[in-house]
Amino acid sequence: MSEATITHSTDYASWKVSIRNGLKTFHHPPEHIPDLNYQEPDDGLTEKILSALSRVDGLPPHNVLLKGPRGSGKTIVWYRTAQILGVPLYYLGGSYGTSRGDLLGEVCPQQDGSFGFATSALFEAMENGALFVFDDMDKIPESSLTPLLSVLNENRVLHSSYVGSPCANENFMFCATANREISNAEIRDRLSPVINVSYPSKATTEKILRSRLTKADEKWFKLFMHECKSDKLSPRYAIQVLTFAYKMHTIAYQKGTAKNTESDILKYIRIAKGSDKKDQEEQNSTIQKKTYGKTTKDTDGLEIFSLLSGQEQDKSKH
């Protein structure tokens, strides 16, 4: 692969550097796969994905597209998939600024005036036979997508003037996510199956919440799910609202301004949801006063700061 490979590490990242075609080459690192707490949705999403990526009877993996609303769990399921398959995951998040260089790799100037080459996540996944995830693929300009056409063909080639035209390792897997239809028809035709992801059931959402808020007691989940029973609930929204309510209530409880009662818990859930305007106004003014406590010559600001930074966790009521 290279004349010499060394690993270059900083506090934030670690990537391999090699000499390739005479160019100092920086290899895009795989993603770190965090502790996921993944809760399997009832429709067997992971199983569908694993079937599409499998090599049953020597058949090649499909190029899978997950399509679904924001916050429904499209990105996290790819991390889970890589974890189950035990393969590295290379990730590219699409945005309006994503360019062909993000797919092909880019020449980069060095401090000594020479040029180096930074490989792309796609290139590394193809070379190492890993899982490549193109997240939010619908957000990128159509013209930036053209290098993908040959990658998504059966021969799986990436045409790059710097690294030649490498063919993918046979274990390479291509996956993508989108909120909307992919507008480029040629790319769209090469992505199959399209697996629709919807918001998980309320039961799965509750499991997700329980796995996030391990110190909260039963009342929190019962009240939250009841309060949201008629809402369409994305896991992201549910996590954000419930954890915000829980933090506000915990801080208020430790200040002695809230009780661990159903009505007080419900009050904070409603504030976090924005469904209780009056409470929201009161809460905002209290938080403002407390946050800027030092300037209003009381010590509440300092106390709130220690709560916010987690120093008071042992006083937990739950």
Residues facing 65 on adjacent strands = 176, 194
Decide if residue 81 touches ligand ATP (CB under 6 A): no
Q: Is there a cis peptide before residue 193, judged by omega within 30 degrees of 0?
A: yes
The stretch near Mg ion (CB under 5 A) out of 67-75, 106-114, 184-192, 287-295 is: 67-75
Give the total of residues touching ligand ATP (CB under 6 A): 20
**Cα 283 to Cα 289: distance, rounded to the nearest angstrom:** 10
Query: Restricting to residues 252-271, which ones interact with Mg ion according to CB under 5 A?
Result: none
Decide if residue 94 touches ligand ATP (CB under 6 A): no
* Nearest Cα residue to 41 out of 235, 193, 240, 212: 235
Q: Containing H/E element for 305? A: helix 300-308
**Cα 314 to Cα 318: distance, rounded to the nearest angstrom:** 10
Decide if residue 283 touches Mg ion (CB under 5 A): no
β-bridge pairing 173-178 and 131-135: parallel
Q: Give the nearer residue to Mg ion in terms of CB position, either 68 or 147.
A: 68
Q: Which residue has the tokens 């504030």?
A: 271
Local structure of residue 106 (DSSP, 8 states): E
Quote the least distance from Cβ 93 to ligand ATP, whole Å.
Answer: 9
Q: Give the nearer residue to ligand ATP in terms of CB position, either 212 or 255.
A: 212
Q: Give the nearer residue to ligand ATP in terms of CB position, either 45 or 145.
A: 45
Residues facing 7 on adjacent strands = 16
Q: Give the nearer residue to Mg ion in terms of CB position, either 75 or 275.
A: 75
Return the one option of Mg ion, ligand ATP, none that residue 71 interacts with (CB less than 5 to 8 A, by type).
ligand ATP
Quote the least distance from Cβ 214 to ligand ATP, whole Å.
Answer: 13
Decide if residue 76 touches ligand ATP (CB under 6 A): yes
Decide if residue 179 touches Mg ion (CB under 5 A): no
Decide if residue 180 touches ligand ATP (CB under 6 A): no
Return the one option of ligand ATP, Mg ion, none that residue 235 interacts with (CB less than 5 to 8 A, by type).
ligand ATP
Site string for Mg ion, 73-92 (x = CB under 5 A): --x-----------------
**Cα 287 to Cα 114: distance, rounded to the nearest angstrom:** 54
Reduced to 3 states, what is the DSSP secondary structure of residue 178?
A: strand
**Cα 130 to Cα 173: distance, rounded to the nearest angstrom:** 6
Q: Give the nearer residue to Mg ion in terms of CB position, either 133 or 241.
A: 133
Q: What is the dihedral of CA 48, 50, 51, 56, to 10 degrees?
A: 180
Residues that bind ligand ATP (CB under 6 A): 37-39, 41, 68, 70-76, 136, 177, 179, 200, 208, 235-236, 239
